[in-house]
Amino acid sequence: MTDFKQIENNLKKEAKKLLESAEVPVVLAYTRGYDEKHPMPFAAKSVADVEKIVFNEYCNFNMARYIMRFPDAAKIAIAAKAADSRALVVLIQEEKVRREDLVILGIPASGMKDPKTDQLIDSRTTGGLYNPVEYDILLGEEIRGQKTVSPYAVLADYEAMDKEARWAFWKGQLDKCIRCYACRKACPMCYCDPCFIDQNKPRWADKAPQSPGNMMYHLTRFHHLAGRCIDCGECSRACPVGIPLYLFHKKVAKECEEMFGQAAGMKLEDKPVLVDFRVEDSDQILK
Amino acid sequence: MSRIGVFVCHCGHNISQTVRVSELAHFAAGLPDVVVAKDYRFMCSTPGQDMIANDIREHRLDRVIVTACSPLMHEHTFRKVIEKAGLNQYLLTIVNIREQVSWVTDDIEEGTAKAKALLNGAVYRARLLAPLSSRVIDVNSDVMVVGGGIAGIQAALELANTGKKVYLVEKNSTIGGHMAQFDKTFPTLDCSACILTPKMDAVLQHPNITLLTYCEVSEVKGYVGNFDITVRQKARYVNHDKCNACLACTEKCPGKGISGWDEGLIKRKAIHIPFPQAVPQRPVIDRDSCTYFLKGKCRLCEKVCEQKAIDFEQHDSFLNFKVGAVIVATGYDLMDTRPLIQYGYGKYPGVYHALEVERLFNSAGPTSGKVTMRDGKEPQAIAILHCVGSRDKNNYEHCSRVCCMYSLKFAHLFREKTSADVYQLYIDIRAAGKGYEEFYNRIIEEDVKFIRGKGTRVAPSADEPQRLIVEAEDTITGKFVRLPVDMVVLSPAMVPRSDYKEIARLFNLSTDKNGFFMERHPKLAPLATMSEGIFIAGVCQSPKDIPDTVAQANGAAAEALTIVSRQKMELEATTAMVNPASCCGCQNCVRVCPYGAPFFNEQKGVSEINEALCKGCGLCASVCPSSAIIARHFTNEQVLAEMEGLMEF
Amino acid sequence: MSFEPKILGIACNWCTYTGADLAGTTRLHYPQNLRVVRVMCSSRINPSFIFRAFQLGADGVLVGGCHPGDCHYNTGNLYARRRLAVTKKILEFAGLEPERFRVEWISASEGNKFAQVVTEFTAQIKELGPQQKLKIDELLEKI
Amino acid sequence: MLKKISIKKINDLAAALMEKGTLLAPVKEAAGHNFAEIKDPQQLDLDYYNTIVSPKTVFLPQKEDFVRYETAKPVAEAQPVALNIKATFLFGVRPCDAKSFQIMDIHFHASGIIDPYWQQRRDATVIFGSAFDLDIPAQDADFYQTLGIGAADPEGSDVFMVKKGEDLLMKAITPQGEEILARLAMLGEGKPADKKYFEEYIKKGSQHQTRNMCLDPQVIAKKLEDIFHSGEFWQAQSAACLSCGICTFVCPTCYCFDICDDTLFSRGVRRRVWDACMFTDFTLEASGHNPRTHVYQRLRQKVCHKYSFHVRKYGVISCVGCGRCTRYCPVNIDIYSIIQDAMKA
Amino acid sequence: MSQAITPYLEMSQAIMEAGGEALKKCYQCGTCSGTCPWTPITHFNIRKLVRYGQLGFDGIEEFMWGCSTCKFCVDRCPRGVEIIDIVTAIRNVYSGGGMLPQSLRAFVGSLAARGNPWSGDQAKRNDWAGQKYPLYAPEMEYLFWTCCTVCYDPRNVRIAKTTAALLNETGISWGLPAAEVNCCGESVRKVGDLDLFARLKQKNLDYFQSRNVAKMITVSPHCLATFNKEYGEDYSVVHFTQLLDKKIKEGKIKPKKDFGGIVVTYHDPCYLGRHSGVYDAPRNVLKAIPGLKLMEMERSREQSMCCGGGGGGLWMEKLKGERLSDLRIEEALATGATVLATACPYCITMFEDSVRTLNVDDKITVRDVTELLLESMEINIDESVGDVCATD
């Protein structure tokens, strides 16, 4: 199991060094919330703030989504777990931030917990990676030898369902949605403001939390995340009514990987799949 | 609320035979916002058009729906009609009930029902139509030609002769390109200099042509009609205005540099002109071989020059030009044959490649036209190898088109200037141009030995160490052949200039897998490119001989004229625009547009679209996640509304 | 009377729409359930159009574009191919019958292919029956 | 009067209530409980702490159709949507939520403008309050004690229920409570011991510990006004906020809504839907101007509305300390900590 | 009879179905025949063979056995035609039903009966080892795959021993294949007997799967190329020179004895060089030996000339003057070398043969890279050669 205390100390040490040398004006990390089991995302801006930094098994937040909050900061340091680092890679690919403007403090972590259920987060429901794909400084020992299960294994029984059962499942789930948009705001890749669903010209769907509006919002969002979703599971954890959105995003990610041969946010030089093409893409993907 | 007019056409009986047109008009009258609904036998006829015009004025219509044949047929006609009646031409929707309804069914119920649905969709869409006006931009009438080879020279002269101002940019210190290196040209065996130098001189004298030699394009901004191009003038260290080309300096100069013009066969002075008829006939100092620049002392040329034209303090300068169109004619290089170790180029002195042989024949060349090898001796037997690197999946799959013909020319020149036996190792003799086959027959009669088999190996001869052995299989007899020869001539593949990637990036050109620039359409638009206002000519597009190159140069000049001959240029109206309030700066549009119309505005953090380059395809509108891009005339609202209308009944 | 499906067609102006016109000029007959929206390029089709079409009650959606390599805008349909493929996979996973959404490359000279595709697609949709899944219905309660 | 019923027979009570009207009670869902109509008596269960979304959905539903219209027809012919409200029993409301209805009543009828939809539903509903189980410590997100609400505070309920071992004691608080209890035949009479137990339970309830600080509405209201312009304070508090809409949607005392027209095939309906002050375009004006574009402005507005402006205008804090906003916030922003920091600022 | 011939297209169709579909890509440019080392010295002409295959002309049989599959032509072909697959397909189509030339019948028969081409007793496969080395077991890292030639051929048995001795020096865990395995089948496949190849391959695959073999070291480049190309992707196979090169760099193997400046030239076996892309590993091993002067022949690395042993050539009788190995020996002598080093049992056999027929065994000796390395490490092996021929 990951030694959270040791990582916390390293995180504090590095943050202190960076802030003292003024190499970065802000370090994105975590701090204590209203109690031990509910930490909060935190932007440490001064050496004094460093004391407030904390890291434990409940710090699931994907800090990549706060990068855009500091447009005028020349450089930003960020604590990044495996999925967070993939989110950073996608943001770099989409030129929202430049690699040289980031100091990535990589955190290899396993055994993270969901504060709501206080259970271990089942690695099958996330991207299944333990070590960050991109980092400048690694705050802990790389995790080796974990039994890597394909992140898409959890889809098997949903794919096996026949389409009527699958439709009933998804309609039932999406009808619960109360359109609080927490999934959109929790997602590091969803940085459009206003989002297409907020627009009035055109009105893609009505505002009421009923089937047509919910269906249009979620299906289009699944499409907007195609080839970009890094499988961190934050959307499902943020959802107050517990809709398993990660399942659909995983299925779209699996299809994209099979059709276009590229997983999201793994390599800096990749181009996001839906703003790219290969002449030799086969027409079979349309059948 | 809009006031829509619906006009249903019978098209004689083409439509009325399977669509109850009067019922359709009656149905239209019942739809919301429709104030007038009529049907007539021939809407596109003059009385039909007048009816529409009158109704527009009479009923103060602000939308018109014509339910008739395909928009591809008469949309343009009816746009002009409503424009004359004072209504913006884009406030029109055509409903296609002929090609896509009446002609494709014989069941009048089905036809009428579908016509109603289509009409209902059109009404939903018409409500949301917005007036559009096509923007007019002014066009700079000058043209820039990049590359001073025969293609660039020809294009520049053609344009200059029509009165347009032309800037001819050439990287080398002289124009003329590879053609100036040749001695003779096939098939007429014209002396290359004799037919080229008059044109070079015409370029120098032509009042409308500004010659920019020893220059490279460093930056391209702007768009069709309004290009803003920065050119880097490399330092020549000789002031070309003062210099009167007495060339005393070139005699005195001690510096020794490898002559690129003579393909490295001999050395040349640091201060030099590549060849006597160079245009402009002014010397240039090559930094890498000038003793002053290398060791800090000498400056002999400065002492000798009466005109005081030498200026060692010169450094690169940047010139800026505004032009309306650009012709890229950057030409080609020959493939470096060193990696093909089986031919031993660079290892055995007897192995030459085509351009070196051209220089050997040239009277201004290193051997003043005498065919002598690197060891000074005259070759007794020569083998010319075709398809070196061409037609070869491991190197270049394309056929370079001209090697067969210049190899035949070499054979003729060798037979004429030496007493050597000449072998040609070929796969197919491709002599398809005008007078080419006749030229081939003439060479056969000059007793040149043709061996049908690709040369596979060149090795030093065991028993005569000075000579070379060329191995091949004569596929006609099936025999393995060993040719003892003195000189081996390779015809390497023609490939684009080594800096083609840089040129492609500057002018937003795409290239094929070998690096030749991509034309907009291989058959119907071979000289245009995906970038509006940028044209290509000559071998930079694909290997070709001089006649085709000149023809393409003239074509490119004509295409450039279509732009610069007009002061004003009307831009398409159905382009896209970005609503900055909704744009989140994800730059998806910038990444996908093949025309580079969208660009990212750094300060505002939003994308904007250069409407001069936008073709109106709408790709950017569909990739925009926050639907901030409005694809005029096909906006999201209009398409959604039309779909809603179509699905109502 | 038997179920008459409502099929929405989205056709690219340069190839498929022209091909449809050609089917007309050569008097090829095909069922009239298809209602066509003309767009300038298949790449103009936003995936949300497809979701919206099914919500409006379309029983089938047929998208027509130029063959890869023939696109009037050079790379438009190459992007469209990827985006519509992802759309199809999303609808399939959501539980909609995959056959209801079809993409075909039909060039300006393939009038017969257009007629044949429409006929075949209409028959297929007729056999599948009305599409009740994504269709919006609460709004239509009788007043 | 005090009635009693064995918890095992709770389903009969449900069946009885269902005959008399619609019974709404917390129903188990994937992520927790939410109020929903009980269709079959077995569904009624009592082991839940509190619902995810507050019971305000009963009186202020997230979507309320006002009027239906046709675009082709004149406005006069638009048809208002009939509001046929049946007698309703809202079963299992926690004390903090029960108290929240009184605060919401201020806006929906007490201030003179009667909202018919809210009022008709409110009048037709009997509220069965249910005390927290005092053996289980309060969840750390709750702080209703700070707002003066006891864990077994009957205020706001028509009937208040307390568990006593295997039995459920039900005491009528309001006349409606009396009336309904009388009509429920299967309830047994409460013995004096039960009455005493009931009274003590209520007293013990008010001592039941949650996060607590002494909070005088006027003091916190003044404090918040003073620090309203301290950008630094609010930016620190809202640094983590994602500005989604959870805290307002789950909150029992948030009532902001938006009116929109949904049209399809030239027929449409005008309806009311919840809106959230935390949404970026909540204050977007037609001109395009948006007075609150930054997250800290929106968070400041939310907190100050509840703990400052509401006090200035109606004299009472518009919060009942149910802790939902803290419990369901994806980044664990806690309004109680903000108020604590504000008091210290 | 008339000189006119009509194309027999069914035959070219059969060739294409047997794996030669590249037939149609060839435009008869003559690069292959110009490059092929056999063209100058025999009447074999690979281009003509492909031509006959294209139109199914008869008379193809008499020169379809000239190819030693050295892959020089395939590397140079401008159309990327897989010529070796065409030769294999032609041999499969024409030699079906025992029409093999006399000299090949013995080796194919032995393979069918005993699983090795040298009519060696299947049970005695590991006798050369004299129980000194363990059989492979799943927990071991490497399977040391001994080619039949080094198990049964008297000259090459020595190489099995030197390699095994060296492997022990490297400290890796390895084991020998059990006697139940048979030849990798490379030569029989190139001779065209595809069904026999399939049977041999399946038997080996079953053995591999049963021991879940993952990593293998081969002695013969022929096994290396066949395992990589035909046995599927889930095995990582290296040639022993690659392993030795790595171990020398890691310092696990240290040559000691100084060879006193003897001149050695290295011959690139076609299946190690062109087929498998291994050029530098054997050279590094030789350079690591102190006092050994390595001279390159004119035709080396990608341009190396075949020894003639591939594609069944080892077993074919060749007329004097029509043997590549003779030319190669002359080329080696021309470099002034006294030792011709190589890394393939087939080449060793061909060159030993040529050295004797040209009687230059006093001027040059043929050594395997492992023999030289072992000698410089001053480790000796038992020289006895057991009788491993089958008695029945």
pLDDT in tens, A118-132: 888 877 778 778 889
How far is Cα E207 from Cα E200, in angstroms, rounded to an integer?
Answer: 11
**Long-range CB pairs of E122-127, under 8 A, 24+ apart, other chains included:** E122/E179, E122/E180, E122/E182, E122/E390, E123/E179, E124/E179, E124/E386, E124/E388, E125/E151, E125/E152, E125/E177, E125/E179, E125/E181, E126/E151, E126/E176, E126/E177, E126/E179, E127/E151, E127/E386, E127/E388
From chain C, the residues in CB contact with A248 under 8 A are 90, 93-94
CA B477 vs. chain centroid, Å, equals 45
Confidence (pLDDT) at E385: 65
Contact A192 B586 (CB under 8 A): yes
Contact B32 D72 (CB under 8 A): yes
In a domain? residue B148: yes
Confidence (pLDDT) at C140: 44
Confidence (pLDDT) at A169: 95
Can you read off the two tokens belonging to residue B391? Answer: 């037609």
Confidence (pLDDT) at D288: 85
Confidence (pLDDT) at A207: 87
B489/B341 same-domain check? yes
Which strands form B215-223's sheet, in the order they lie side by side? B215-223, B226-233, B317-323
Question: Closest residue of B to D289, CA-based?
Answer: B581
Confidence (pLDDT) at B469: 93
CB-based contact, B643 to chain A, within 8 Å: no
- The CA angle B338-B340-B342, to the nearest 5 degrees, is 115
Contact B32 D264 (CB under 8 A): no
Q: What's B604's domain CATH number? A: 3.30.70.20
Residue A279 to residues A276, B504, B623, E119: CA-CA distances in angstroms?
10, 20, 19, 55
Question: Closest residue of C to B69, CA-based?
Answer: C21
pLDDT in tens, C42-52: 999 999 999 99
In a domain? residue B643: no
B167/B59 same-domain check? no
From chain C, the residues in CB contact with B117 under 8 A are 6, 35
Asked if B70 and B11 count as a contact pair (C-beta separation under 8 A), the reply is: no
Contact B591 A195 (CB under 8 A): no
How far is Cα C59 from Cα C57, in angstroms, rounded to an integer?
Answer: 6
From chain D, the residues in CB contact with C136 under 8 A are 264
- The CA angle B191-B197-B201, to the nearest 5 degrees, is 165
At B152, give phi and psi (nearest 5°).
-65, -45
Contact E27 B482 (CB under 8 A): no
Top residue of D210, D243, D246 to mutate, by most chain A CBs within 10 Å, is D246
Top residue of B341, B430, B456, B471 to mutate, by most chain E CBs within 10 Å, is B456
Contact B582 A96 (CB under 8 A): no
Neighbouring chains of B at 3+ CB pairs under 8 Å are A, C, D, E
DSSP state of B626: T
B267/B385 same-domain check? no
Please report, rounded to a whole number, the percentage of residues in chain A having pLDDT higher than 90.
59
- Evaluate if residue A28 carries a pLDDT over 70: yes
Q: Which run of H or of E encompasses D340?
A: helix D335-344
Confidence (pLDDT) at B596: 86
Using a threshold of 3 CB pairs under 8 A, tell whether chains E and D touch: no
How far does the CA of residue D231 sit from the closest CA of chain B (Å)? 25
Can you read off the two tokens belonging to residue D195? Answer: 């009455």
Residue B64 CB neighbour total at 10 angstroms: 27
The model's confidence at residue C138, banded by pLDDT at 50, 70 and 90, is: low
Confidence (pLDDT) at A1: 66
Question: Closest residue of A to C55, CA-based?
Answer: A212
Question: Closest residue of C to D80, CA-based?
Answer: C143
How far is Cα A210 from Cα B79, in angstroms, rounded to an integer?
Answer: 43
Give the burial string for C42-55 (b: 16+ CB within 10 Å, else e).
bbbbbbbbbbbbbb
All structural domains of chain A with their residue ranges = 4-138, 153-286
Domains in chain C, CATH or no CATH each: 7-142 (3.40.50)
How far is Cα E18 from Cα E14, in angstroms, rounded to an integer?
Answer: 6
The model's confidence at residue C143, banded by pLDDT at 50, 70 and 90, is: very low
Residue E315 CB neighbour total at 10 angstroms: 18
CA E354 vs. chain centroid, Å, equals 17
Residue window 17-36, chain A: list those with CB within 8 Å of chain D.
33-35
Of C47, C79, C88, the CB nearest to A277: C79
pLDDT string in tens for chain E (392-residue length): 677 778 888 888 988 888 888 888 898 999 999 999 998 888 889 999 999 888 888 788 778 888 999 999 999 999 989 999 999 999 888 876 567 888 888 888 888 888 888 888 888 888 888 888 888 888 888 899 998 888 888 888 889 888 988 888 888 889 999 888 889 989 889 988 888 899 999 999 888 888 888 889 999 999 999 999 988 877 889 999 999 998 888 888 888 888 888 999 999 999 999 999 999 999 999 998 998 999 999 889 999 999 998 888 888 888 888 889 999 999 999 889 999 999 999 999 999 999 998 888 888 999 999 988 888 888 877 777 666 666 55
From chain D, the residues in CB contact with C140 under 8 A are 264-265, 267
Tell which residue, B122, A199, C143, has the closest CA to residue D268. C143
Domain containing B75: what range? 4-134
Can you read off the two tokens belonging to residue B237? Answer: 């260290």
Same fold, E6-95 and E251-376: no
In a domain? residue B239: no
At A203, give phi and psi (nearest 5°).
-90, 100
Residue A198 to residues A45, B370, B500, B632: CA-CA distances in angstroms?
33, 81, 46, 21
How far does the CA of residue B592 sit from the closest CA of chain C (Å)? 8
Of B605, B626, B635, the CB nearest to A195: B626
Asked if B224 and B563 count as a contact pair (C-beta separation under 8 A), the reply is: yes
Which parts of chain B have pLDDT scores under 50? Answer: none
Domain count, chain B: 5
How far is Cα E30 from Cα E77, in angstroms, rounded to an integer?
Answer: 9
* R_g over Cα of chain A: 19
How far does the CA of residue E227 sit from the closest CA of chain B (Å)? 26
Neighbouring chains of E at 3+ CB pairs under 8 Å are B
At B569, give phi and psi (nearest 5°).
-140, 130
From chain D, the residues in CB contact with A39 under 8 A are 332
From chain B, the residues in CB contact with D266 under 8 A are 32, 648
From chain A, the residues in CB contact with B588 under 8 A are 275
For chains A and B, count residue pairs whose Cβ atoms are closer than 8 Å: 41
Of E29, E40, E298, the CB nearest to B454: E29
In a domain? residue B649: no
Neighbouring chains of D at 3+ CB pairs under 8 Å are A, B, C
For chains C and D, count residue pairs whose Cβ atoms are closer than 8 Å: 14
pLDDT in tens, B477-518: 888 899 999 999 999 999 999 999 899 888 888 888 888 998
From chain B, the residues in CB contact with A276 under 8 A are 591
Q: Supply the CATH classification number for the domain E6-95.
A: 1.10.1060.10
Q: Which residues of A touch C (CB under 8 A)?
A: 158-159, 163-171, 196, 204, 210-212, 215-216, 219-220, 222-223, 226-227, 248, 251-252, 255-256, 259-260, 273-279, 281, 283, 285-286
Contact D330 A38 (CB under 8 A): no
Helix axis angle, C47-55 to B636-648, nearest 10°? 30
Helix axis angle, A211-224 to A245-260, nearest 10°? 40
Confidence (pLDDT) at E11: 87
Top residue of D265, D266, D270, D271 to mutate, by most chain C CBs within 10 Å, is D265
Can you read off the two tokens belonging to residue A125? Answer: 């429901």
- Evaluate if residue C101 carries a pLDDT over 80: yes
How far is Cα A152 from Cα A125, in angstroms, rounded to an integer?
Answer: 9
Neighbouring chains of A at 3+ CB pairs under 8 Å are B, C, D
Question: Closest residue of B to A91, CA-based?
Answer: B586
3-class DSSP state of B57? helix
Contact D240 A180 (CB under 8 A): no
From chain A, the residues in CB contact with D260 under 8 A are 206-208
Q: Of the CATH numbers 2.30.30, 1.10.150, 3.90.550, 3.40.50, which one belongs to the domain with range E102-247?
A: 3.40.50
The model's confidence at residue A148, banded by pLDDT at 50, 70 and 90, is: low
Confidence (pLDDT) at E375: 87
How far is Cα D65 from Cα D270, in angstroms, rounded to an integer?
Answer: 6
Q: What's B192's domain CATH number? A: 3.50.50.60
How far does the CA of residue A208 sit from the closest CA of chain B (Å)? 19
Can you read off the two tokens belonging to residue B111? Answer: 């036809």
Minimum mean pLDDT among B393-407, C54-68, C88-102, E178-192: which range?
A: E178-192
Please report, rounded to a whole number, the percentage of residues in chain D having pLDDT higher than 90.
64
Q: What is the ipTM of this complex?
A: 0.73
In a domain? residue B271: yes
How far is Cα A76 from Cα A233, in angstroms, rounded to an integer?
Answer: 24
pLDDT in tens, A176-186: 999 999 999 99
Asked if E54 and E46 count as a contact pair (C-beta separation under 8 A), the reply is: no
From chain D, the residues in CB contact with C142 under 8 A are none
Q: Supply the CATH classification number for the domain E251-376.
A: 3.40.50.10700
Asked if A245 and A236 count as a contact pair (C-beta separation under 8 A), the reply is: yes
Q: Which run of H or of E encompasses B233?
A: strand B226-233
From chain A, the residues in CB contact with C79 under 8 A are 274-275, 277
B279/B421 same-domain check? no
Of A41, A176, A178, the CB nearest to D240: A41
